[in-house]
Amino acid sequence: MRTIPVVIGALALLVGANSAYVVNQSQTAILLQFGRIVRTGIEPGLHFRIPFMQQVKRFDKRLLSFDSQPERSLTAEKKDVTIDFFVKWRIVDAARYYVAVAGDEAQARDRIAPKVKEGLRRAINARTLQELVAGGRADLTKDLVAESNKATQDLGIEIVDLRIKRIDLPEDGTVINSVYERMKAERKKVASQLRAEGEEAARTIRADAQRQVQVVKAEAYRDAEKTRGEGDANASQVYAAAYGRNPEFYSFYRSLEAYRDVFAQDNGLFVLDPKSEFLHYLQDSK
């Protein structure tokens, strides 16, 4: 008879242990009874259920994420690009989430990925490569988040964010070569333009320098002629004064200068009449 209270106590303890359950702060839960959902949106804390009849399914209500494998798509100008992206999502309707994917996170990712990839493919098909690379990512991801949420609303989840990590050109395509060739052509164009501008600037500098040289030469020639004219005028005044004072001595001095200039030549040959006026001062004084 002593075993009856022990058995009753054990049963009571077992029933009590199966009646209470705890939902953590990072979780949300639903309550099932014979496979049918009888309660949803259970908040964190201590709760009770009918033992052996009701089961608890807990789900992580924090942000979840998955990285997709790089996807290959065509841009608006039919160029191949490889897109690498990741998705941030969370459970917002535990009951719908359980019905759609049986509460399996891997199944949920398998359902989310095709919808996101399809939206991404359509968005890339509508944009050029330059638009994708030059700064259209923010608008692209914003539109994709809204479109993906519409496509996955039957899963009981919300896509919080979608980010493109990389946009690459496939190594086996001809796009890289064409991009490189276009880059080379653009660099050559810029180099040619800079070279032409440099040559134009050089021509301008040379022309200005030549103009300044001509101006300097002209001014120097003008000053030289002015100085030479002033010197000649002074010399003429000196000669005139000397001639007026002693014409004979002036004539003798000028003849000596002429003799010096003529006989200074090493190979010079002069044929003159001995009675020439030029040889006047070389003749016998008698």
Structural domains of the chain in order of their starting residue, each with its CATH number: 7-60 (no CATH), 64-173 (3.30.479.30), 246-286 (no CATH)
| 285 vs 5, residue with greater confidence | 5
What's the CA gap between 256 and 262, in Å, rounded? Answer: 10
Better-predicted residue by pLDDT, 89 or 260: 89
pLDDT of 17 strictly over 80: no
Query: Based on the number of CB atoms within 10 Å of its own CB, is 131 exposed (0-12), middle (13-18) or buried (19 or more)?
Result: middle
pLDDT higher at 267 or 88: 88
pLDDT at 278: 61
Residue 280 has a pLDDT of: 65
Of how many residues is the chain composed? 286
- Whether pLDDT at 25 is above 80: yes
pLDDT given at position 251:
72
Q: How sure is the predictor about 162, in pLDDT bands with cuts at 50, 70 and 90?
A: confident
Q: With cut-offs at 50, 70 and 90, classify the pLDDT of residue 67.
A: confident
Q: Is 157 exposed, middle or buried (0-12, 13-18, 19+ CB in 10 A)?
A: buried
206 band by pLDDT with thresholds 50, 70 and 90: very high
Residues 6+ apart with CB under 8 A from 85: 67, 68, 71, 116, 120, 162, 163, 164, 165
| pLDDT at residue 16 greater than cutoff 60 | no
**Per-residue pLDDT reduced to its tens digit, 94-107:** 888 988 888 888 88
Mean pLDDT of 1-11: 60
Mean pLDDT, rounded, for 135-140 = 66
- pTM for the whole structure: 0.52
Between 7 and 118, the more confident residue is 118
Helix, strand or coil for residue 212? helix
